Amino acid sequence: MVSETAIREALVGVIDPELRRSVVELDMVRSVDVRESHVGVTIALTVAGCPMKADLESQVRGRVGAVEGVESVGVSFDVMTPEQRTALRERLHPGGGNGAKSLAISQRTRVLAVASGKGGVGKSTVTTNLAAALAAGGAEVGVVDADIYGYSVPRMLGITRRPVVVEGMIVPPVNHGLRIMSIGFFLEPDQAVVWRGPMLHKALEQFLTDVHWGELDYLVVDMPPGTGDVSISLGQLLPSPDVVIVTTPQAAAQQVAERSAEVAAKTGMRVAGVIENMSYLVCPCCGERSHVFGEGGGRALADRLGVPLLGEIPLDEPLRTAADAGRPLVLEDPDAPSARAVAEIAAALPGVLRPRSGAERIDRRLSIR
C-alpha cells in the first residue's frame, strides 16, 4: 500500500525553480489523495499563470512516480489566497512587509560589481559568462543588470518572462541556474529608459530590497559604463562590494577605466582586480595571435591600481554569437578559448574577494574544480 507519508516525503524533493526551496517548505502542497496505486497531488501556485507550472508538474510526476507502488500520478493546480501569499512573503523575507526597507541579501553573499570606464569593451558579456561560470561551479548566483540605460543581460541570458510579484516581493526569473533582475523585464521590448537620477536610485534600491534573492553565494552586478549617478548610488546601496574593472588592451580604454576605479574607491567599493577583454585574436588557420586592440593595457591598469590582473580573454566569434543567442559560452562550449579564460577568472575570485560570513563553503567547492 502507498502511504500519504511516503508521498509527502517524496514531495520534499520538488523545488520551486524560482524560489529555490521545497514546495513542502513553502507550504505549496494543497492536498495529497492516495487511491491504491494512483496518487493525486494538488499544488498551490503563488499566482495564476505561474510561468514555472510545467516544471513543477514534471518534478511532481517524477518524484511521486518513483515511490514504490505508485503506478499513476495526477497533478492539479490551485492558487494561493492573499493570506497565504502574505504568509509566504513573511517566511521568505521576514519583516519585508512592514514598510521598512532593508537589504534582501544574505550575510554570506559576496557582492561583485563588474565595471568599465567606457562602453563597448564587452563588460556585459564578461558579467553574464562570469556569473554562469560561478553557478556551474556550484555557487548560488544572482545577477543584477544595473546598466539601466543600456540593459542587455536579459537577452544575453535568454530570458524574457517577467518576474512574479508576491505581495510586493519580487521573485526574480531563473535561467542557466542564475536569478536575474533587470529593468528590461518591466519595459516593452527595446523601450528606452528616460529617467533622471532619483528614479534610477529608486529602481536600484528596489532591486536590492524588494527582490527575493535567497541564500546567494554571489550577487554579480553589471554596472553601467562610466562614472554617473548609477555608479554612485550602487556604492551607497551595496553591502561591502568588490569591483573588477573590465578593459581592453587599448591605451584609451585603460585610461578611462582608471577613472571608473577612482570613483569606485570614493564610493566605498574595493577594487579587487582587472580583467582584460578582447586581448588578442587567434588566427583559425595558423594559430598566430594578433593584438588587434594593442597589448598590455590590462596589465598596465592593474599595476597602476595595485591589484591583480585576473585574466586575459581573447577576442573570438563564439563568445559574441553565444551571447546573442542567450546562452553563455562557458555553458555552451566550455572548451572554447574565451570560455576557458572566463572559467579561470571565476576560479580565482575567492582568492581576491573579501570574505563574508558563511562564504568558506563555496570557496572550497570552487578551488577543487
Task: Give the CATH number for residue 140.
Answer: 3.40.50.300
CATH number at residue 57: 3.30.300.130
Model confidence over 319-334: pLDDT tens digits? 989 999 999 999 999 9
The residue written with cell numbers 508538474 in the block is 57
Shared domain for 53 and 120, answered yes or no, is no
Quick one: pLDDT at residue 101? Answer: 57
Q: Could you write out the DSSP letters of every residue in 99-162?
A: S-------TTPEEEEEE-SSSSS-HHHHHHHHHHHHHHTT--EEEEE--STT--HHHHTT--PP
Domain boundary pick from 32, 61, 92 = 92
Model confidence over 266-302: pLDDT tens digits? 877 889 999 999 998 887 777 778 888 888 889 999 9
Q: Which residues pair with 44 in a beta bridge?
A: 78
Shared domain for 162 and 299, answered yes or no, is yes
Q: Please, are residues 158 and 129 in contact by the beta-carbon 8 Å criterion?
A: no
Of the segments 6-15, 159-168, 285-294, which one has the largest average pLDDT value? 6-15
Shared domain for 64 and 155, answered yes or no, is no
Shared domain for 298 and 269, answered yes or no, is yes
Please report whether residue 50 resides in a domain. Answer: yes
pLDDT above 60 (res 258): yes
pTM: 0.83
Quick one: pLDDT at residue 119? Answer: 80
pLDDT above 70 (res 182): yes
Please report whether residue 104 resides in a domain. Answer: no
Provide the phi-psi class of 245: left if phi over 0, else alpha when psi is between -120 and 50, else beta. Answer: beta
Count of the separate structural domains present in the chain: 2
Domain of residue 15 covers 4-92
Burial of 42 per CB tally in 10 Å (0-12, 13-18, 19+): middle
Q: What is the mean pLDDT of residues 343-349?
A: 95
Q: What is the mean pLDDT of residues 242-251?
A: 90
Shared domain for 63 and 116, answered yes or no, is no
Quick one: pLDDT at residue 124? Answer: 93
Domain boundary pick from 57, 92, 127 = 92
pLDDT above 80 (res 43): yes
Shared domain for 23 and 158, answered yes or no, is no
Helices (H) and strands (E) in the chain, counts: 13, 15
Shared domain for 39 and 125, answered yes or no, is no
pLDDT above 70 (res 139): yes
Buried b (16+ CB within 10 A) or exposed e, 311-330: bbbbbbeebeebbeebbbbb
Shared domain for 82 and 115, answered yes or no, is no
Please tell me which residue, 119 or 270, carries the higher pLDDT value: 270
Shared domain for 122 and 260, answered yes or no, is yes
Q: Which residues pair with 182 in a beta bridge?
A: 145
pLDDT above 80 (res 366): no
- Cα distances (Å, whole numbers) of residue 308 to 124, 140, 258, 279, 345: 21, 25, 14, 16, 11
Shared domain for 87 and 200, answered yes or no, is no
Domain boundary pick from 39, 61, 92 = 92
